[in-house]
Structure 1
Amino acid sequence: MPRFDMNNMLGEAPPLDFGRRGRRILASFQEKSGPELEAACAKERQKEQDIEDESKEASADVLAYSAREHAIHEAWKHAEKANELSKESAEAALEAANESMEARRILDQHDIIAIENQTQADVAKAEAVQGLESHSAWPLAALSAPIEKWRCRGLLGSHQGRKLHLSSFL
């Protein structure tokens, strides 16, 4: 069986024994030289450049897609939080309205009592004023009518004129 030799230019590997004898497997490629080597290198560089360009485009697409997806996810999270907070605020508003209604029910009874008391006080005042009016009208009716000025001119100098004048009691 031939052994692998580093000096072997064909780069043949030792045969593998799979039950068949005489098969050989090549381990390397044949070296190119001169213009073929330069053309092969240029072709290989172009392939590597194309692969690198494609990977840059793909990574840019992935990054853009990733940033877009991240922004969408963040917006969704904020929308969910806003929805939750709006529900909580609606519940708090309902609870405040219920508390206000309960306080109004309690205070309505006191307002009714206060209105009734005020009405009774107004009625009492009206009756008192009515009573004063009814009592003060009779003494005024007993007073004599005021004397005209032309009658008072001659009497003011005398003792009788002073008695007849309305301001004489002052």
Structure 2
Amino acid sequence: MSSHQIRFAELSRKAMSALLADDLATARAESGVELGRLFVDDRAKWLWNYRLKQLETEPEAAAWIARAVVAEPDGVVIGYAGYHGPPDDRGMVEVGYTVDPGHRRQGYATAILAALLERAAAEPAVQVVRASISPDNEASLATIAKFGFTKIGDQWDEEDGLELVFERPASPSPTASP
């Protein structure tokens, strides 16, 4: 669906703590990638603070939560993405992704979502993938529409307000062979 090649770079506790302190140099050294201003804006800082608190009570979430997204082969960091945590009791993971404004409308969100869905499908514990999106976010709504998500309802998020909730199976049913 997208011709972009991406990879994910881990954002450790030390990197997230550095980002909260506006210390891009330490965060860059810790993550091994050139993190930009997107990683220290107010929304990102809210996320790093939230994820650090999550890791205090749920250390196993480290393998699932936010990572820097790197476009290859140039090694340019174009955003961050991950899941809200490991699979829950019903095998559901929720995706989240942010593309730097300078890289939007270029297919990166599609590449990021494809990579997140690929990982979810490869994990036996994951049965369902969820996405929660503001009804005003036309770009994200168009992105998930490409991947067979179905609206299952809506919710009120303390940080983001009204969100539409979509889900799809982690591994879409194979199409019948002719």
Using the size of structure 1 for normalisation, the TM-score is 0.14
Structure number with higher relative contact order (C-alpha < 8 Å, ≥ 6 residues apart)? 2
- Bigger share in helix: 1
- Bigger share in strand: 2
